[in-house]
Amino acid sequence: MNKTLLEVTARIRARSAASRERYLDLIDRMSRRQRGVQRMGCANVAHAVAALPENDKLRIVAEKAPHLGIVTAYNDMLSAHQPYETYPALIRDEVHRQGATAQVAGGVPAMCDGVTQGTPGMELSLFSRDTIAMGTAVALSHDVFDGALLLGICDKIVPGLLIGALHFGHLPCVFVPAGPMSSGLSNNEKAKVRELYAQGKVGREELLKAESAAYHGAGTCTFYGTANSNQMLLEAMGLHVPGAAFVHPHDGLREALTREAVRQLLGIIPQRDYRPIGRVVDERCIVNAMVALLATGGSTNHLIHWVAVARSAGILIDWSDFSDLSAVVPLLARVYPNGSADVNQFQAAGGPGFVINELLKSGAMHGDVLTSVSGQSLSAYARLPERAEDGSVTWRDMPETSSDETVLRTAAAPFSPTGGLKLLAGNLGRAVIKVSAVPEDRHTVEAPARIFDSQEAMQVAFKNGELERDVVVVVRFQGPQANGMPELHKLTPPLAVLQGKGFKVALVTDGRMSGASGKVPAAIHVSPEALSGGPLAKLRDGDRVRVCATSGELTALVDEATWAAREIAQITPEAVRDNGEGLGRELFAGMRRNVSSAEEGAVTWL
């Protein structure tokens, strides 16, 4: 086993000892109770089964058959979640075949960041994660279930479902994905059209045509952003049916995998090979998720989300843990935006199973963990699923080599010996940077700062030709307390245009850029944020700023006396009003007041 992997795991375990012990004690107390229908009053049971068919009532009440809860994030606004419309009926059919029952325990909201990015609605996105977690808790609060199937894929939905499920840590749980959409216009071609539009060289009609060719059907978007990173991490945590992540929604194998999820869950409920999710998600499991993220150049959002996920299981991690692992975890995948391939090409080359197999063989991942597969460790996830003639799922061993070395490589010959994420620190605070897509000659940028308090103001300056020089663009007052920490994707095309003209360009922000951030160096999630008195609020136009992924530096090159004497800039009353009013943002005021920092997981429930 890799020495650093073991050291990071050990220090996480030591740091988390007290909180993890409290968490496991709660699981044990909940697990010792009688099953729901035996424990609850007659009126409670009658309400729970009132609308079920008589045969299901008989199974639950008289036969005491296993009873599963379904928590679904279905809506047909999200292309990735549209296939879930038919899943409850499919799941009920399979549980009946297995002599069990299932109910949809509840639905949770699921918003599409692609629809809301650049609009005020995006300011609800990060907080939707904790809303989903609460919705999951409400659904499972009926407390009649032996296990739960969790239906969700996209950006905040999987972390929210997982956080909610971990607060019911005594329940066995299996996540059920639906797969990516087929390949359309390539991500590189889409990005080129966006840059042309930003320069005014093509119009809205051409831009919409390109976007519609890229996003064109059911399934997740095909770039390796937060949604697809979610699926990679769940595979590495052993919470899926092995290999379920990237099979297309309408592939015959997809139905077989969904039915297998039912059988898999029934195999790990109490009185069988009991594997509650709170035991599955231990320190080693969390480290495996971190390693999978780094080895594939995944979404920077997970440096926020998985801190919150871990905390839900009584485990305390921070960005230093990610940084230390990144120094020893090889980069095995090149998927857009840190390559030209899309997620379908990643899957065809070997997908998550190939990555997990390589990491296990090289000692860069814990193999001796519990998973949601009865009797299996993580090695079960290093195989490829196939649909047998009878409709069941079988698995075959992973090939020794990638079928496309431009997309996937072995641990012995990686794209880089280190992971795709770096920690930055200095007198501007702590931040993260995704370097897997950034050319090496851009890993260090030192230039005068241009300060903006909104992405809209930056776009106006770009259109007016005010940024035609080497520049560090600083967009502040974008943190969780200020406005919910929206993703700032509207900044990417103009910054890419400036970089394409040969200027040295970097972005520094206390906002987010997600897994879709591109080739422009971006120091993001700066903590503490400007609104809470963070040092970004001390910066002034013209200050030289150094962003260096090589040395891990995020520094304003201002003499110490001047820096210490600087007043903290304040957010304007107009911005406070605009950040808090309209589109339901008033309902999230309490979350903005109570939220922790980005490095602490932007948690709102503590």
Short-list 178, 412, 166, 433, CA closest to 277: 166
Contact residues for 495 (Cβ-Cβ < 8 A; gap 6+): 473, 505, 507, 520
DSSP H or E stretch at residue 149: strand 147-151
Strand blocks (E) in 455-586: 471-475, 505-509, 522-527, 544-548, 553-556
Query: How far from 98 is each of 49, 129, 272, 278, 279, CA to CA, in Å?
Result: 19, 33, 14, 25, 25
Residue pair 107/72 in contact (Cβ under 8 Å)? The answer is: yes
User: Tokens 């970004």 appear where?
Assistant: 536
Query: How far from 47 is each of 34, 147, 348, 491, 596, CA to CA, in Å?
Result: 19, 19, 48, 52, 39
Sequence-ordered alpha helix ranges (H) in 297-416: 302-312, 319-326, 343-349, 351-361
Contact residues for 457 (Cβ-Cβ < 8 A; gap 6+): none
Short-list 377, 69, 409, CA closest to 238: 377
Cis preceding-peptide flag for 88 (omega within 30 of 0):
no
Contact residues for 564 (Cβ-Cβ < 8 A; gap 6+): none
Quote the distance between the C-alpha of residue 25 and its chain's center. 28
- HEC profile for 20-35? HHHHHHHHHHHHCCCC
Q: How many CB atoms lie within 10 A of CB 88?
A: 17
**42 annotated ligand binder:** no
Short-list 321, 359, 319, 296, CA closest to 2: 359
Cα–Cα dist 286/540, whole Å: 39
**285 annotated ligand binder:** no
Pairing of strands 544-548, 553-556: antiparallel
Vertex 214, ends 236 and 229: CA angle to 5°?
15
Which residues line the annotated binding site for [4Fe-4S] cluster? Answer: 154, 221
Which residues line the annotated binding site? Answer: 154, 221
